[in-house]
Amino acid sequence: MPYEYDDQNIFAKILRCEIPNDTVMETDFTLAFRDITPAAPEHILVIPKGSYVNYDHFATDATDAEILDFTRVVGAITHTIKAAPNGGGNGYRLITNAGHDGVQDVPHMHMHIIAGRRLGRMIQPA
């Protein structure tokens, strides 16, 4: 079943400049900005500018150029925030939530980059 994109979601409004954001990096295809409710000292959201609901939608329907650009931006930010281990950083975590079980709140594809403190185990046992 094809995805239906809700263009009234908050990240669509950010992309249309209807609400402000704290931009970290921007390219032709990708926008990265600080999460309004950070879970750690560094918490950045990376979104494609295209209308994709979640990761599997993006991975299936985005162009190679969009996917390449998105991936490069995520990688670049790990260095910008000095979290990349090969630059002496202490590491980071990437999270992309999808759907009900993934507890996705905003239905526009986004990657969380979280860093700046020891994050603990990824998933608590049920």
Catalytic residue annotation: 110
3-state secondary structure 77-100: HHHHCCCCHHHCCCCEEEECCCCC
Is 104 a binding residue for ligand AMP by CB under 6 A? The answer is: yes
Q: Cβ of residue 86: shortest distance to ligand AMP, in angstroms?
A: 27
Say if residue 67 is exposed, middle or buried (CB neighbours under 10 Å; 0-12, 13-18, 19+): middle
91: left (phi over 0), alpha (psi -120 to 50) or beta: left
Give the residue, chosen from 37, 60, 86, 124, that forms a contact with ligand AMP under the rule CB under 6 A. 37
94 binds ligand AMP (CB under 6 A): no
Nearer of residues 64 and 105 to ligand AMP, judged by Cβ: 105
| Chain residues in the site for ligand AMP (CB under 6 A) | 10, 19, 21, 35-37, 45, 97, 103-106
